[in-house]
């Protein structure tokens, strides 16, 4: 019994911390329909602020706690709602998720930039002492003794705080006029305005409270986890499971789920030494629970009408595809003949990321399904390729097929899920793969965490040279990109866009979307698996560290920022993701101090993700617009420079059209006045020259 209590008390402490974090998630989602992936990152940053105030600035602990919880955190929440998340609940789920993922990445970059680890300050150690540190009976054991187990002041404060937060939020939302307005602000904001309410103010209040709860979670955990950028951030991911127990709307169920998860996790840790199976799955208990809860969730209703803001990027013609592909291969050939091995490895890594992002173009950009497990599928491909020990085309094909099969198996239990539930289900799968499968001595990368891989050979020729192998990877990238565009131009591509825009209409027309979705997931996972097999051969060594689930978040982020609906966006995103760790080691001198480019890059990407809420086609769409602008200007100058022929009645007869090549509005042009005859004028939308 004493052993059980010894494991129960830490479980209650952990569950209470989960409950506080999950309550903030549920509050913001219930009132704004935005699931804040960056909830833990905000808690991490605000815990650093608390440390800065108490340790570095020397302020009183109570005063610092008041400033963080009731001044700084609410102010951040108010600014977030006013400038970033206002109206985001009506955007596509993929866009709203990516905006919060962008904040997630940007906050980590900000913390690394403002509080770098290499800054040594002896007078301000990177440690926050726990609250209410007392000793029982003067024996040197902190806390109070209960059945042979000590309860610390921090544990008691955390448990009591979780109860106060749960009861307070329940009364606020269900028993007060303000809570009713907060719930009405998302259910029917127009009706709330008719009754004199202000939906924006209600949403801002929800974000202010949610941000304070994130700060409270971080401050309570910082003395246990430490001032760690990723430890504090990712620990709150476990709160997602508790929020899903409450179906993102029930605070009592969320509290009960959080306490149950914390206790079960603590008991599993304590008793796992007696069970080999429990010891194997122990690191992934919460993700397994999350996946099960999501699969058992009620089926989402079909969405009617087009998704707001999702207008696909223009699809090039077949000749343009061929020219762009040939130009890419030519540039790659020139690069590999002159670049060093380090640059070649960077180009190969960029090509790998680009191929994985092409799988997201197919799945998310065209199909509208968000996946946070693409790097896990790439890991399956790399692991299969290494285990088969067949460095040839047959081994590459088998790795692709195995990854596709795993993708189909993942799609089967989540067939009826869409949007947020689907994204969190794939996130849970990615964590399970990392914590259980990839670490397994038998199924995974072995006890050393990595395996050696030989490079690919085709028709007896082995690509031993790094330059030749990188060129081969670029060729695969170009071929897959052209294949994705061909799919988009065909019947399958039109079906994907129709299913993304209006599942209800597709169901009305009798289209069986279930197996189509399975095939879509399998194809996307197969492309990612191919990328994993290729990068394994590039480095000649592949391991679990290459496919951690955390890296899937910036992968999706950069894919959306640069353009998840276009092949160009995938290529640019691959280059950007490759540059992140490269720039992290680079520093520039700004106003006499060294600034790491990696942290700045994180913040720039975060800003780009926020801008993606306005244009889901990403930065590549701006490049397309700029290219069309240059094309129109060039055509206008060519037309203006041609000799003009005039007929006896004075009309221009040069036989030229109005400059439009395919009748599309994007191909219109503005012409200069002709030197002789009647001016050609300005082309308008119907193709007729304007008068005068």
Residue 245 lies in a domain: no
Residue 505 lies in a domain: yes
Number of domains observed in the structure of the chain: 3
pLDDT band at 661 (very low <50, low <70, confident <90, very high): very low
Residue 48 lies in a domain: yes
Q: Which pLDDT score is estimated for 689?
A: 37
Identify the residue with better confidence: 273 or 304.
273
Do 85 and 220 have their domain in common? yes
Q: Is the pLDDT of residue 413 over 90?
A: no
pLDDT tens track for 458-467: 887 888 888 9
Q: Which residues pair with 598 in a beta bridge?
A: none
Q: Which pLDDT score is estimated for 423?
A: 86
Q: Are 193 and 199 in contact (CB under 8 A)?
A: yes
Do 186 and 83 have their domain in common? yes
pLDDT band at 374 (very low <50, low <70, confident <90, very high): very high
Do 375 and 465 have their domain in common? yes
What is the span of the domain harbouring residue 183? 16-116+155-236
Do 92 and 193 have their domain in common? yes
Do 503 and 651 have their domain in common? no
For 17-33, b where at least 16 C-beta lie within 10 A, e where not — what string?
A: bbbbbbbbbbbbbbbbb
Do 462 and 337 have their domain in common? yes
Residue where a domain stops, chosen among 201, 236, 271: 236
Task: Using the Cα atoms of residue 260, residue 261, residue 266 and residue 270 in order, give the sign of their dihedral.
Answer: positive
Cα–Cα distance for residue pair 595/588, rounded to 1 Å? 5
Helix (H) / strand (E) element for 384: namely: helix 374-388
Q: Is the pLDDT of residue 666 over 70?
A: no
Mean pLDDT of 115-130: 70
Q: Is the pLDDT of residue 177 over 70?
A: yes
Residue 307 lies in a domain: no
pLDDT band at 164 (very low <50, low <70, confident <90, very high): very high
Residue 242 lies in a domain: no
Q: Is the pLDDT of residue 67 over 90?
A: yes
Q: Is the pLDDT of residue 596 over 80?
A: no
Highest mean pLDDT among 143-152, 197-206, 296-305: 197-206
Residue 581 lies in a domain: no
Q: Which residue has the tokens 């059209």?
A: 657
What spatial distance separates the first Cα and last Cα of the chain, rounded to whole Å? 95
Do 201 and 77 have their domain in common? yes
For the beta carbon of residue 265, count every other beta carbon within 10 angstroms: 22
Residue where a domain stops, chosen among 236, 269, 290: 236
Q: Is the pLDDT of residue 495 over 90?
A: no
Q: How far is CA 36 from the centre of its chain?
A: 11
The residues near 63 (Cβ < 8 Å, ≥ 6 apart) are none
Residue 136 lies in a domain: no
Residue in 27, 97, 103 with CA at minimum distance from that of residue 426? 97
pLDDT tens track for 323-365: 989 999 999 999 988 888 888 999 999 999 999 999 999 998 8
For 43-54, b where at least 16 C-beta lie within 10 A, e where not — what string?
A: bbbbbbbbbbbb
Q: Which pLDDT score is estimated for 645?
A: 52
Residue 651 lies in a domain: yes
Mean pLDDT of 494-507: 76
Do 421 and 322 have their domain in common? yes
Rama region for 22: left / alpha / beta (φ>0; ψ in -120 to 50; rest): alpha
Q: Which residue has the tokens 């610092």?
A: 64
Do 399 and 511 have their domain in common? yes
pLDDT band at 379 (very low <50, low <70, confident <90, very high): very high
Residue where a domain stops, chosen among 549, 567, 594: 549
Do 222 and 351 have their domain in common? no
Do 432 and 534 have their domain in common? yes
Residue 404 — φ and ψ, nearest 5°? -65, -40
Do 332 and 230 have their domain in common? no
Identify the residue with better confidence: 202 or 373.
373
Mean pLDDT score of the chain, rounded to an integer? 79
What percent of the chain is modeled with pLDDT above 90? 20
């Amino acid at each position: 019994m004493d052993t059980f209590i010894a494991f129960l008390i830490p479980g209650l402490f952990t569950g209470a911390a989960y409950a506080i974090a999950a309550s903030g998630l549920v509050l913001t989602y219930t009132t704004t329909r935005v699931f804040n992936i960056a909830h833990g990152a905000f808690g991490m940053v605000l815990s650093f602020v608390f440390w800065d105030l108490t340790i570095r600035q020397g302020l009183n602990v109570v005063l610092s706690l008041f400033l963080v919880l009731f001044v700084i955190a609410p102010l951040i929440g108010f600014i977030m709602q006013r400038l970033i998340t206002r109206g985001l609940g009506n955007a596509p789920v993929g866009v709203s998720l990516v905006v919060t993922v962008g904040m997630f990445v940007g906050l980590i970059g900000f913390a690394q930039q403002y509080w770098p680890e290499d800054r040594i300050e002896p007078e301000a150690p990177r440690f926050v002492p726990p609250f209410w540190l007392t000793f029982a009976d003067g024996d040197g054991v902190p806390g109070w003794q209960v059945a042979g187990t000590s309860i610390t002041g921090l544990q008691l404060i955390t448990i009591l705080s979780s109860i106060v937060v749960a009861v307070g939020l329940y009364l606020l939302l269900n028993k007060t006029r303000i809570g009713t307005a907060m719930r009405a602000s998302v259910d029917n904001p127009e009706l709330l305005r008719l009754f004199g309410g202000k939906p924006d103010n209600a949403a801002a209040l929800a974000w202010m409270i949610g941000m304070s709860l994130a700060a409270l979670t971080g401050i309570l955990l910082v003395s246990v986890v430490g001032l760690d950028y990723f430890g504090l951030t990712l620990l709150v991911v476990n709160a997602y499971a508790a929020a899903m127990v409450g179906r993102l709307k029930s605070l009592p169920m969320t509290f009960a789920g959080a306490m149950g998860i914390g206790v079960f996790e603590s008991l599993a840790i304590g008793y796992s030494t007696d069970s080999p199976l429990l010891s194997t799955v122990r690191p992934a208990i919460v993700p397994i629970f999350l996946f099960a809860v999501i699969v058992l969730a009620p089926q989402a209703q079909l969405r009617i009408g087009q998704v707001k803001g999702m207008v696909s990027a223009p699809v090039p013609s077949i000749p343009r595809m061929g020219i762009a592909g040939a130009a890419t291969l030519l540039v790659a050939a020139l690069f590999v003949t002159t670049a060093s091995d380090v640059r070649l490895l960077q180009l190969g890594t960029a090509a790998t990321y680009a191929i994985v992002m092409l799988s997201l173009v197919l799945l998310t950009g065209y199909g509208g399904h968000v996946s946070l497990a693409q790097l896990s599928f790439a890991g399956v491909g790399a692991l299969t390729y290494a285990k088969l020990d067949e460095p040839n085309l047959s081994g590459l094909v088998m790795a692709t097929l195995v990854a596709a099969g795993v993708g189909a198996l993942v799609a089967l239990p989540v067939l009826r899920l869409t949007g947020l539930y689907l994204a969190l289900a794939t996130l849970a799968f990615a964590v399970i793969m990392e914590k259980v499968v990839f670490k397994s001595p038998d199924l995974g990368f072995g006890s050393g965490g990595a395996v050696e891989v030989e490079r690919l050979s085709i028709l007896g020729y082995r690509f031993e040279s790094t330059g030749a192998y990188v060129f081969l990877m670029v060729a695969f990238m170009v071929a897959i990109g052209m294949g994705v565009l061909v799919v988009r131009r065909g019947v399958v591509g039109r079906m994907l866009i129709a299913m993304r825009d209006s599942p209800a209409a597709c169901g009305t027309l009798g289209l069986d979307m279930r197996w189509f979705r399975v095939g879509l997931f399998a194809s996307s996972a197969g492309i990612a698996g191919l990328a994993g097999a290729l990068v394994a051969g590039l480095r000649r060594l592949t391991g679990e560290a290459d496919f951690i689930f955390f890296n899937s978040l910036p992968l999706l982020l950069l894919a959306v920022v640069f353009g998840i609906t276009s092949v160009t966006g995938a290529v640019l995103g691959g280059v950007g993701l490759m540059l992140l760790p490269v720039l992290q080691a680079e520093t520039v001198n700004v106003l006499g101090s060294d600034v790491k480019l990696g942290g700045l890059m994180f913040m720039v990407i975060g800003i780009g993700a926020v801008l993606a809420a306005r244009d889901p086609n990403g930065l590549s769409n701006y490049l397309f617009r700029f290219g069309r602008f240059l094309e129109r200007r060039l055509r206008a100058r060519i037309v203006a420079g041609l000799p003009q022929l005039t007929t006896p009645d004075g009309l221009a007869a040069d036989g030229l059209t109005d400059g439009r090549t395919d009748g599309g509005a994007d191909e219109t042009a503005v012409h200069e006045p002709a030197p002789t005859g009647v001016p050609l004028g300005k082309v308008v939308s119907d193709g007729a020259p304007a008068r005068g």
